[in-house]
Each structure stands twice: as structure tokens, then as C-alpha cells.
Structure 1
């Protein structure tokens, strides 16, 4: 089966590089599925997972938004932060989720930045789901 090269890159460097048969992820406009030969495009991504399928194997990368660029021979994902499922520290992600939930509960009592706490919660939940492969 045909494959396409995929690179997931953050400001700290590359996180994932491989040839895959299909890429699935969430763009701001909705769910995207990309196969080799897809038309060129650029799309902003939501906080979510990138599913990379090759044969019977599926790998997962948690991204905190960013941009997806599709070219005929390559897909590049530029994200502020990204982690493969194997590199996610589940305990750390669970603690981040608890902190974000605590901040959101304090919103009514103090000057907590609601949007920032909400994004932190979404990032933590995404990392937990990707690590557990629970979608």
C-alpha cells in the first residue's frame, strides 16, 4: 500500500517521523483523514490526538493545536507541544488535570484566568486519553 511521510515538529525539535498509510486528526473545521495523494492544504489543529496508521499498527501523538500542512509527498504538523503516547507521563498528566480542575472551581471565588485553566484541562485530558488510547 502507498505511504506518505509524516513529521510532527515542535519548537524543541522533531517528535515523530515516519512513513504511514493514513493520518487522522482534528482540525478547527472538523475531523480530517489524509491518505497518500491528498490535495495540498493547510489547516489549524485543535488540541487532540493524531492517529498514524501503518498496516495493522496505529501510533498516537498528543498535540496542543498547531498547523497541519499537506503536500503531495509529505505531511508536516507544527505544534507548540507534542508527545507520542509512549512518552506521556500518565501520573504527571493526571496531576495537571487535577490542578486545572481545581483552578476552574476557584474561578468564581478569585481572579483565575478561566480560558487558561480551561485550555490546561483540555491539554491534560488529551494527554491522558492518548496515553491510555481511550477515545
Structure 2
């Protein structure tokens, strides 16, 4: 266990992951960052992307909204607005969210709606991309 990293991933809805891992990869504003035991202390914003978790040599990926990662010693904490395993993505829901965002972007009502539509579009495209990559 000494070479393991304790990773906790939480969202407003749940504690998504709380266990020891070999490594994890998160997408920060500066690119992908690999997390491992005794990583240099760090706090960084996360962008919409993925979290790759490797436990006992087996990798699993989750689609992730924006958030923050904090790591110190052998503990890492990821706080995100939303997270789900790629193999559990409801692809039809993601495609409908993309369509709604496209409609809002075309309507161009006001700046707030455009910002929300752009965020919704980014999240939907992220979920679709990860799902389709898994299907190949």
C-alpha cells in the first residue's frame, strides 16, 4: 500500500471514488496531469475532460466536468461539478443536450444564455467523444 495514492473524487451528487490507486490522470487548464504517490503538492483548476484511474494495473475512465484537483503526499482530492464512468454515459441524453445547446446558440438571446449554452455544448461534446472512443 505504500506506493499507492489515495484518490477521492466527489461531485455535488456523490462520492464517486474513494480508494487507493496506482495512478490517476486529470485534465487541468494546463493539460493532462498524472497523479501518483508523493506527487509534488499542487492545486489546479480542472477543465471539462476525463479522469483516468489506474488501480491494480487496470485503467478505467470517467467523463468529468470542470472542477479542482488538490494533491499532497499520498492523497489527491478531485472536486467536480459532474462525473460519470464513460461506459455508463447515456449517449441519447448527451446527444439531446448537444441539440438543445445548438438551438440556444443559434437563438443568440443574450450573453448569459450564450455562456450557458457554450458550457452545455462543451460538456455534451465531451461525453459524446469519450463514449464514442470507448465504442471503437
TM-score grouping bracket, smaller chain normalisation:
0.7 to 0.9
The answer to whether structure 1 residue 73 and structure 2 residue 79 are counterparts is: no
The answer to whether structure 1 residue 118 and structure 2 residue 124 are counterparts is: no
The answer to whether structure 1 residue 128 and structure 2 residue 128 are counterparts is: yes
Query: How many residues end up aligned between the 2 structures?
Result: 132
- Structure-2 separation of matches of 1:29 and 1:16: 24
Unaligned stretches of 5+ in structure 2?
none
Q: Match for residue 24 of structure 1?
A: 25
Q: Match for residue 106 of structure 2?
A: 105
Q: Match for residue 10 of structure 2?
A: 9
- Structure-2 separation of matches of 1:89 and 1:16: 20
More helix by share: 2
Alignment TM-score, normalising by the size of structure 2: 0.85
Alpha-carbon contact 1:48-1:63 (below 8 Å) kept:
yes
Alignment TM-score, normalising by the size of structure 1: 0.85
Q: Match for residue 44 of structure 2?
A: 43
Unaligned stretches of 5+ in structure 1?
none
Q: Cα deviation per residue 1:21-74 (whole Å; 9 max; x = unaligned)?
A: 221121122221112210111111101111112354221122211110102121
Q: Cα deviation per residue 1:105-131 (whole Å; 9 max; x = unaligned)?
A: 222xx3372111010000111112233
Alpha-carbon contact 1:16-1:84 (below 8 Å) kept:
no
